[in-house]
């Protein structure tokens, strides 16, 4: 298909507020950055932002040439979680309406999870509730040292339900139970310790440096191999080795004879760069 993000900036617009809720910025090299653009509300979720993010992530799923996707928040906060006005509306809805509302968030997170390129959350300030869930749904997260995290739903008498699959994948069941049950605020160092964050940097300037380094690293990787590697982990995780031996052998055989696999091996043997490496 044609690349729907070929233009330098694709705007997904909140027509009621006449302001961009989400920006997608993409370079010709295939580095895409998705920015939550509700800085005045600390990038908190409402129905409109969730819908805009869902659309952005689905766009990136089908976009050709995307090698890495960064997710960040405008202003000084990654995401404060649920918007207060949105929470007030939810409190007045019945169970069926709340279920439909929650499914919008669940589908948005799954659309992020399903992006074939590497996804990286760049966390500054706070990542609370659903905001921390966004970071967990990315393949990796880099945070500034002063970033704060919390799964604070329990302190409102709620549970971290729709984000739970991604958080449990990131930190494991035992740590997830502790974080969900206490709702405590924790720092970037602790987030790195438990696996929610992959790397901690000193400040915003170093976060930009980390972004550029990761983007450069991804240029050396075969795009199809990246997508297949992500799928491989999902398919073999927590399964007995004997149950996946034949399938893993089939997968490596298939990719060895694929155009990308052939090009990568031949380039290595011929001491040249593969055709995807800029």
Q: Nearest-CA neighbor of 154 among 135, 128, 131, 189?
A: 128
Return all residues near 260 (Cβ < 8 A) that are at least 6 apart: 222, 223, 224, 225, 276
Q: Nearest-CA neighbor of 57 among 5, 16, 6?
A: 5
Pair of tokens at residue 220: 């050396």
Q: State the residue for tokens 């019945």.
A: 94
Q: State the residue for tokens 């070929």.
A: 6
Alpha carbon separation from 202 to 125, 169, 207, 217, 269 (Å, rounded): 12, 26, 8, 21, 40
Pair of tokens at residue 73: 């928040």
| Cβ neighbours, 10 Å, residue 110 | 15
18, 58, 95, 153: the active-site residue: 153
Return all residues near 245 (Cβ < 8 A) that are at least 6 apart: none
89 a catalytic residue = no
Considering Cα of 161, then 162, then 166, then 170, what sign does the dihedral take?
Answer: negative
Positions marked catalytic: 153
């Amino acid at each position: 298909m044609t690349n729907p993000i070929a233009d330098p900036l694709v705007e997904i617009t909140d027509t009621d507020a006449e302001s961009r809720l989400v920006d997608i910025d993409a370079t010709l090299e295939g580095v895409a950055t998705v920015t939550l653009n509700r800085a005045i509300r600390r990038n908190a979720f409402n129905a409109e932002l969730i819908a805009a993010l869902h659309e952005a992530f689905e766009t990136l799923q089908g976009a050709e040439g995307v090698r890495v996707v960064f997710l960040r928040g405008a202003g000084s906060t990654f995401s404060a979680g649920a918007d207060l006005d949105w929470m007030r509306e939810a409190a007045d809805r019945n169970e069926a309406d709340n279920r439909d509302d929650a499914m919008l968030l669940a589908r948005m997170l799954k659309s992020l999870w399903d992006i074939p390129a590497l996804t990286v959350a760049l966390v500054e300030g706070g990542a609370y509730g659903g905001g921390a869930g966004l970071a967990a749904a990315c393949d990796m997260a880099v945070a500034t040292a002063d970033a704060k995290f919390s799964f604070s739903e329990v302190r409102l008498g709620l549970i971290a339900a729709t984000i739970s699959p991604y958080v449990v994948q990131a930190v494991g069941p035992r740590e997830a139970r502790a974080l969900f049950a206490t709702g405590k605020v924790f720092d970037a160092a602790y987030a790195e310790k438990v696996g929610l964050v992959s790397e901690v940097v000193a400040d915003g300037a170093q976060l930009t440096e980390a972004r550029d380094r990761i983007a450069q690293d991804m240029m050396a990787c075969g795009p199809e191999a990246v997508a297949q590697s992500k799928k491989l982990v999902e398919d073999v995780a927590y399964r007995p080795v004997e149950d996946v031996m034949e399938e893993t052998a089939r997968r490596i055989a298939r990719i060895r004879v694929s155009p990308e696999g052939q090009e990568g091996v031949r380039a290595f043997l011929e001491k040249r760069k593969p055709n995807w490496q800029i």
